Structure 1
Amino acid sequence: MLSYALLTVLAVAGASLASVVRTPPPPGEKHASNRVIPDDELFSTQVSLQYRRHHTCGASILNSEWVMTGAQCVGSFSMSDLSILAGSDRLDIGGSVHQLKRVIMHPDFSFLTARNDIAVLQVSPPLSIDETRRVIKLPGRGQLIATNSTATFVGWGQSMVGDKMKKISVSVMDQEQCVKVYSEFFYRVSDSQVCINIPEGRKDKCYGDAGHPLFVDDVVVGLASWSDGCPVSGTPSVFTRVSSYRSWIKEQTGV
C-alpha cells in the first residue's frame, strides 16, 4: 500500500549517499561536496505546517514570504484551516504563527501517482529572517549530487507535542534499482523523484514527514513524499527531486 511520507526517523545508523541524477548541471555549476551542518542551521530553515494548529507536514523557508512543502500537504485542506509555526524546533514552545495568504500546488500533481508533489505557500505576516528562521539553499536546475555524499533528513513527523525536531543520516538508492523495486508493486518512480534506502535500518516508530527536506550539505535536494508502507531494509522512501522543479519554483516565488 502506497503511504505518503512514512520514513524511519529513529534508530537508524548513519549511512553514505550515492545518488544517480542523469541530467547534467548548467555550465559552471558544481557538484555538492561533504560538509557537516550544525543542527541549529538545519532546523531553523524548517517550519511546521499545521491544520487547525496541529502539526501535519514540514515546510522549508524560501524567503520572508514563501515556504516550500509537498502538494499532498495542502491539496485536501481549506487554506483558512492552515497556518505555519516558524522560529522554533519544538511544537509547544516559542516561535511565531503565520497564516497563509496564497497556496500554489504544482498543476500536474497527482494524489494517485504522487508525481509533482510540490507546493509553495505565501505567508502573512512575512517571516523575520534571523538565526531562528533561516532561508534554505536550493539546487540548480538539474544539479548533480556527488556519489557517496552524506545526506541528512530532518523533521518532526507525528512527534508528540514538545518533542524536538529530529535528524537522521540516510543513503540514496541507485535510481534504476529503485524503479525496479517499485515496479514489482506496480508503482512508478519517475526521473523527477529520488529514493532513499535504509540498508541496515530498523524501525522503532514510523513518522509522517511529508514535505520535510533531504539535505546534501546545506542544499535541499528532496522533499519527503511517499513509500510502500513503513520503510524497512530494502524498501525505499521516495522524495520529490527539487532540482527538477527549480524553474517552476522561481516562476511562482521569484526565488
Structure 2
Amino acid sequence: MATYQISIRVRSGNQEWHSCGGSILNEEYVLTAAHCIYETDMKDMSIVVGTHTIDKGGDRYKIKKLIPHEEYSDPLDIGIIQIEGKIKYSDKIQPIELLKEMAPVGKKCLLTGWGYTDYDRSTVPNNLQMLEFETISNDDCTKQLKRSPYPDLVPVDAGQLCVKRPNNKGACHGDSGGPLVIQDDKNKTLQIGVVSWGVSCAKEYPDVFASVHGYYDWIQNKMK
C-alpha cells in the first residue's frame, strides 16, 4: 500500500479534519500542492503519516515551514512542507522517489487520497482510496479542456501533467496535493504528479496534476 501517502490535518477549536494529501520526499520534507498551504496558518496544521484511515493510527508531526512555489498561481501549483524533527521510517512509512524525466504518455498510473467519494453529498471516506488513470499528452489535454468551463486555464504547460479518468470517477476535494505514481520497468514506484485541479469531480474532462518532472529542480533546491 501507499507507504508514502500523508494527510494534512487542519484544526479549528476542538475540531480537526483532513484537508489535503501529500507524499514523503525524505525525513524532513513532504510534497503537496501550493494551494493546500498558501496563506494558511501552520500553527493550525499538522502532518499524519503511516496510516490509511483518517480516524486512527499513524504518527503526527508539527510543521516547521510551509514553502509554496514563489510564483504560485492557478496552473503553477506545487509546494513543500518542512516538518519539525524527522519522520521515522517503518514498513508503513517510506519516502517516494520522484521521476526525473517526463512521464510517458498512455501509461497506467495510480492516485491515492481521501478526497470526496460523493461530490454532491460531500461524502468523505475514512479509508484511503485508490484510482487508476492513464497519462495523456498535454496537447490532447488542452484540446479537451478548451471545451470545459475553464478555458482560461489552458493550454496546459510543461509544468503540468494530465490523465484520463475512469468513467464517473476522478480526483475531488481532499485529494489535492496527493501523489500520482507509476511503476517503472523494474517495478519501482515513482511519483509523477501532484493533484492540482480538475473540472469538479469526475466530469468528462481530464484531471490536471502538477508535473514532478516540471518542478524537479525547484523541489531539490528547496530541500537543501
Which of the five TM-score ranges fits, normalised by the shorter chain? Answer: 0.7 to 0.9
Distance 2:75 2:132 in 1: 24
Confirm or deny that 1:137 pairs with 2:97.
Answer: yes
2:164 is matched with 197
CA pair 121-205 structure 1, distance change in 2 beyond 3 A: closer
CA apart distance, 1:132: 1.4
Select 1:86's aligned residue among 34, 41, 49: 49
CA apart distance, 1:172: 1.9
Question: Where does 1:72-151 land on structure 2 (aligned, <5 Å)?
Answer: 72-110=35-73, 114-140=74-100, 143-151=101-109
CA apart distance, 1:64: 1.0
Are 2:172 and 2:200, in contact at CA under 8 Å, matched by a contact in 1? no
Select 2:200's aligned residue among 229, 244, 251: 229
TM-score (normalizing by structure 1):
0.75
Confirm or deny that 1:213 pairs with 2:164.
Answer: no
Structure 1 residue runs without a partner (length 5+): 1-39
RMSD: 2.0
Are 2:18 and 2:174, in contact at CA under 8 Å, matched by a contact in 1? no
Letter in 2 for 1:138: L
CA apart distance, 1:201: 0.4
1:246 is matched with 216
Question: Where does 1:174-193 land on structure 2 (aligned, <5 Å)?
Answer: 174-184=137-147, 185-188=151-154, 189-193=156-160
Letter in 1 for 2:94: R
Determine helix, strand or coil for the equivalent of 2:62. Answer: strand
Distance 1:242 1:192 in 2: 8
Q: Percent identity?
A: 29
The count of aligned residue pairs is 206
Letter in 1 for 2:88: S
Confirm or deny that 1:58 pairs with 2:21.
Answer: yes
CA apart distance, 1:44: 1.2
Q: Which has the higher contact order (CA 8 A, sep 6+)?
A: 1
Letter in 1 for 2:47: I
TM-score (normalizing by structure 2):
0.85
